[in-house]
Amino acid sequence: MTQITPEPRTPGVPAPSGRGCAPWLIGCGATLAIVLLVGGGGAWWFVGRPLLQVYGAVQDVQRVEALDAGVSNRAPYAAPADGLLSESQVTRFLGVQRRMGDAVTGRLERLQGRFEELDGREFRWSDALRLAGVYTEFFQAIVETKESQVAALNAEGLSVAEYAWVRREVLRAAGVEAAPDLGAVVGAMTSGGGDVAMLRPAGAPQANRDLVERYRQELEETIFLAVIGL
């Protein structure tokens, strides 16, 4: 059985640029989410982050976790003792991912083109505002995607806690390393907290791997959202 396996990344080395895409990303546009949010590199810390604060996007991003208050299902969730996913959980998870993908994919692809104009060339200070503009619009897109996630969770009847568990187990079964949640990633970037401790794909039950494999094609279309914590 073929597993979805990410390429290893050396600690301290920025994530790859937009040129070339892992097969589990939805076109090259989604690579922007990984580059900017998970591994933006020096351009973020020395140019993007200070100018982004001027634009006020950080305040918008800090609303992300508060949006979970709009989820209707507030029941606590107890994960099954055997750790097995149900097919219903996987299909509802994919339903949430699909709705988020519909909301953000086109916008990320447009931003990818703008980012690639700056990526891979010697930085000029005249590019600073353009780079900050890319970050600003990207974070605004993340907030809007989170809003679409809340609507999708309500449509699927999932609680935040159950969705978080299903997301983690689906990614483990797919063999994909991922951020623990979007709040941790955004918090690290906006507060200077450093790298995010990624969830390692290990020890997934064989039944979960078999189940997720059946939905591999659909999962690949929006898995970048789950990777960054959505």
What is the DSSP secondary-structure string of the chain?
Answer: -----PPP--TTSPPP-SSS--TTSSTTTTHHHIIIII---HHIIIIIHHHHHHHTHHHHHTTTGGGGGG-S--------TT-PPPHHHHHHHHHHHHHHHHHHHHHHHHHHHHHHHHTTS---GGGHHHHHHHHHHHHHHHHHHHHHHHHHHHHHT--HHHHHHHHHHHHHHHT--B-S-HHHHHHHHHHT-----PBP-----HHHHHHHHHTHHHHHHHHHHHHTT-
Domain contains 9: no
Domain contains 213: yes
pLDDT digits (tens, 9 = 90+) for 73-118: 999 999 999 999 999 999 999 999 999 988 887 787 777 777 777 6
pLDDT of the residue at 24: 42
Domain contains 17: no
Domain contains 118: yes
pLDDT digits (tens, 9 = 90+) for 175-213: 988 888 887 777 666 665 556 777 888 889 999 999 999
Backbone angles phi, psi at 21, to 5 degrees: -135, 140
pLDDT digits (tens, 9 = 90+) for 9-64: 433 333 333 333 444 444 444 455 555 554 454 555 455 555 555 456 666 666 77
Compute the distance between CA of residue 192 and CA of residue 111 in angstroms, rounded to an integer: 24
Domain of residue 197: give its range: 31-73+85-225
Domain contains 80: no
Quote the number of domains for the chain. 1
pLDDT of the residue at 123: 64
Computed on alpha carbons and rounded to an integer, the radius of gyration of the chain in Å comes to: 17
Residue bearing tokens 């900050």: 132
pTM of the model: 0.75
